[in-house]
């Protein structure tokens, strides 16, 4: 065994995040770890890597008992982790990010030898057949390039265990296949892999064994070939039935939100046109680099619009800014919840009321009682697992953090939801809850614009699908008996 835990327990006050975990990972295997958000997966990773200290129990790594009190100690042992939210310095280039936490190459004992550093990185990239532009800043890299950069950093030292936490979140199927090839190559050279994902098809495609967590407890470890997806979901959930979209035509009312020939100043979006009606969920689907995210950011006001018209209920809107959008009843669920949607150091309450904080100030007095009650109401409404309104939001699981993002959005009573990868890195049950929340808002008259890299999810959620490629919108397809092959055929057409 490369890793064993015995009776591993973690408490936060009176709340158990992990209870008596006896877990093992064999040398050279790819081991899947699954469970709903809040099941304890992230807590286990943080204990193994030295971010958290266990309340009870012990860790045995490579045959000996260890105490990992900080991440640097984990790395010295040969444990590397790639988190679902990439840990790169945006203003650093590839070489600088790869050598973060590593001793720099030196010449004459004092000067940093960037040439030697580049040669060392190039050798690792060649060994694993990884291609990443090293001179670009991290902020300029695509999501798959950022992931590959972190893999290179992990392989710069002897890596006995590589932990991958939702590595394909926001990647397209084609980008994911490239990543899987590299993961298999890393594993073939002797590195054990602990693979955490809510995408069960990936778990079945990659792993040798699967461990299921539920409510902070280890339910079972099974060999992948001895269980199917229904059996795995049954271990993860309590009598929960998955969703299916009705493939019938729906009559919608008038157009609520329309976009005409919008382009952005950076020309990532060249010509986007669509309209969404009250009660409708409009999906925008495209391959990586098609401009989907940039379009939603421009419509919300994060990016500058060069040309085009945006209308809400027939009225032409002026220059878009986030503050103006919120006042108009337009909210953005950003794919980067940590970077753009949450203040992690603040409480659940502070994050929920963040965009509507001014409404609690009346005649020079702040109504903290109403603020706290509104936060409690949203926690109850969205079933957010938390110890209370004052718990720091960084302590929540990814799925519960995403529910806080939705709670904040709902506080402004939006007419239009712009959703960019709203279910990435959340469990199957939370995904269903988010889908149902948006459907309910649509039934109440809101309009939803929905972007996802998961084509199966798109076909499950959207009423109408717009194809986007090369920064332009193309075909508009009613989602009635549409297949994934049809959608991809449109995406790959020569334009």
Query: What's the pLDDT tens digit per position in 82-136?
Result: 887 778 899 999 999 999 888 777 776 778 888 888 999 999 999 888 888 999 9
Cβ atoms of residues 9 and 400 within 8 Å = no
* pLDDT recorded at residue 405: 95
Burial string for 228-254 (b: 16+ CB within 10 Å, else e) reads eeeebbebbbeeeeeeeeeeeeeebee
- Residues contacting residue 382 through CB under 8 Å, at least 6 positions apart: 403, 406, 407, 433, 437
- In this prediction, residue 54 has a pLDDT band, given cuts at 50, 70 and 90, of very high
The string of pLDDT tens digits covering residues 395-444 is: 898 889 999 999 999 999 999 999 999 998 788 888 899 999 999 999 99
Across 110-229, the runs of DSSP E, i.e. the strands, are 111-112, 161-165, 192-196, 209-214, 217-223
What residue has token string 């980008």? 175
- In this prediction, residue 179 has a pLDDT band, given cuts at 50, 70 and 90, of confident
| Percent of the chain whose pLDDT exceeds 90 | 58
Cβ atoms of residues 147 and 81 within 8 Å = no
User: Helix (H, G, I), strand (E, B), or coil: what is residue 264?
Assistant: strand
* pLDDT recorded at residue 302: 92
Cβ atoms of residues 164 and 194 within 8 Å = yes
* pLDDT recorded at residue 242: 46
**Distance in angstroms (rounded) separating the CA atoms of residues 158 and 191:** 9
Listed as own residue / partner, the contacts of 94-98 with beta carbons closer than 8 Å and 24 or more positions apart are 94/121, 94/132, 94/133, 94/134, 94/135, 94/136, 94/138, 94/141, 94/149, 95/121, 95/134, 97/138, 97/149, 97/153, 98/134, 98/149, 98/152, 98/153, 98/156
Higher pLDDT, residue 36 or 40: 40
Higher pLDDT, residue 494 or 251: 251
* pLDDT recorded at residue 175: 78
> Across all residues in the chain, what is the average pLDDT?
89
pLDDT at 238 over 50: yes
Q: Can you tell me the mean pLDDT for 340-357?
A: 93
User: Helix (H, G, I), strand (E, B), or coil: what is residue 245?
Assistant: coil
The string of pLDDT tens digits covering residues 349-373 is: 999 999 999 889 988 899 999 999 9
**Distance in angstroms (rounded) separating the CA atoms of residues 406 and 403:** 5
SS3 content of the chain, % helix, strand, coil (to 5): 35, 25, 35
Cβ atoms of residues 213 and 35 within 8 Å = yes
Burial degree of 114 (CB within 10 A; 0-12, 13-18, 19+): middle
DSSP state of 359: G
Higher pLDDT, residue 157 or 258: 258
The string of pLDDT tens digits covering residues 277-286 is: 999 999 999 8
pLDDT at 315 over 80: yes
**Distance in angstroms (rounded) separating the CA atoms of residues 74 and 47:** 10
Show the domains of the chain with their CATH numbers. 3-236 (3.40.50.300), 255-492 (3.40.50.300)
- Residues contacting residue 263 through CB under 8 Å, at least 6 positions apart: 269, 270, 271, 272, 305, 306, 307, 308, 471
pLDDT at 251 over 80: no
Taking the whole predicted model, whether its pTM rises above 0.75 is answered as: no
Cβ atoms of residues 56 and 41 within 8 Å = no
Cβ atoms of residues 406 and 354 within 8 Å = no
DSSP bridge pairs for 448: 281, 417
| Percent of the chain whose pLDDT exceeds 70 | 95
* pLDDT recorded at residue 37: 66
What residue has token string 């590299």? 182
What is the token pair recorded at 199? 């995408």
Angle between helices 428-443 and 398-410 (to 10 degrees): 10
What residue has token string 């790959």? 492
Q: Which helix (H) or strand (E) holds 10?
A: strand 3-12
**Distance in angstroms (rounded) separating the CA atoms of residues 402 and 422:** 8
**Distance in angstroms (rounded) separating the CA atoms of residues 222 and 200:** 14
Q: Can you tell me the mean pLDDT for 233-261?
A: 72
Alpha helices in 156-253 (DSSP H): 173-188, 200-206, 229-236
Angle between helices 398-410 and 368-382 (to 10 degrees): 130
Rounded alpha-carbon distances, angstroms, from residue 337 to 48, 124, 142, 369, 401 = 25, 32, 17, 27, 8
**Distance in angstroms (rounded) separating the CA atoms of residues 30 and 235:** 20
Closest by CA position to 330, among listed 298, 370, 290: 298
Q: How many CB atoms lie within 10 A of CB 320?
A: 21
pLDDT at 241 over 60: no
For β-strands 416-420 and 447-451, DSSP reports them as parallel
* pLDDT recorded at residue 87: 81
Q: How many CB atoms lie within 10 A of CB 135?
A: 9
Higher pLDDT, residue 163 or 147: 163
* pLDDT recorded at residue 247: 52
CA 83 to chain centre: 10
∠ CA(204), CA(431), CA(399), 5° rounding? 95
């Amino acid at each position: 065994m490369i890793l064993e835990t015995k009776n591993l327990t973690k408490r936060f006050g009176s709340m158990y995040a992990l209870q008596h975990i006896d877990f093992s990972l064999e040398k050279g295997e790819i081991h899947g770890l699954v469970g709903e958000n809040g099941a304890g997966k992230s807590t286990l990773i943080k204990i193994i890597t030295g971010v958290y200290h266990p309340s009870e129990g012990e860790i045995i790594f490579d045959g000996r008992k260890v105490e990992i009190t900080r991440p640097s100690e984990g790395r010295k042992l040969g444990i590397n982790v790639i988190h679902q939210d990439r840990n790169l310095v945006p203003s650093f280039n590839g070489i600088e990010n790869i050598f973060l936490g590593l001793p720099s190459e030196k010449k004459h004992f004092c000067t940093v030898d960037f040439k030697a550093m580049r040669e060392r990185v190039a050798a690792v990239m060649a060994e694993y057949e990884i291609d990443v532009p090293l001179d670009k800043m991290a902020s300029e890299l695509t999501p798959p390039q950022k992931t590959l950069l972190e893999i290179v950093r992990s392989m710069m030292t002897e890596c006995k265990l590589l932990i991958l936490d939702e590595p394909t979140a926001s990647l397209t199927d084609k980008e994911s296949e490239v990543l899987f090839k590299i993961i298999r190559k890393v594993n073939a050279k002797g590195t054990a892999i602990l693979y955490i994902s809510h995408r069960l098809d990936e778990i079945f495609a990659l792993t040798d064994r699967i461990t299921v967590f539920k409510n902070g407890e280890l339910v079972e470890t099974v060999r992948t070939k001895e269980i199917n997806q229904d059996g795995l979901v049954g271990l993860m959930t309590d009598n929960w039935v998955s969703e299916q979209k009705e493939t019938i035509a729906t009559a919608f009312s008038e157009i609520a939100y329309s976009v005409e020939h919008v382009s952005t100043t950076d020309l990532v979006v060249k010509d986007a046109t669509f309209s969404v009606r009250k009660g409708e969920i409009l999906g925008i689907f495209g391959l990586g680099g098609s401009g989907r995210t940039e379009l939603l950011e421009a419509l919300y006001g994060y990016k500058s619009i060069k040309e085009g018209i945006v209308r809400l209920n027939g009225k032409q809107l002026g220059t878009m800014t986030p503050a103006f959008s919120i006042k108009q009843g337009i909210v953005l669920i950003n794919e980067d919840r940590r970077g753009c949607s949450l203040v992690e150091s603040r409480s659940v309450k502070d994050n929920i009321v963040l965009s509507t904080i001014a409404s609690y100030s009346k005649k020079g007095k702040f109504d903290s009682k109403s603020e706290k009650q509104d936060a409690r109401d949203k926690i109850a409404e969205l079933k957010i697992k938390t110890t209370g309104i004052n718990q720091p939001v960084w302590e929540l699981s990814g799925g519960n953090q995403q529910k806080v993002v939705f709670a904040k959005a709902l506080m402004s009573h939006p007419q239009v939801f712009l959703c960019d990868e709203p279910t990435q890195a959340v469990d199957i049950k939370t995904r269903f809850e988010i889908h149902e929340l948006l459907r309910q808002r649509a039934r109440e008259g809101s309009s939803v614009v929905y972007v996802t890299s998961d084509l199966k999810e798109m076909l499950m959620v959207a009423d109408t699908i717009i194809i986007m490629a090369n920064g332009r919108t193309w075909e508009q397809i009613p989602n009635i008996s549409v297949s994934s092959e049809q959608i991809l055929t449109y995406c790959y057409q020569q334009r």
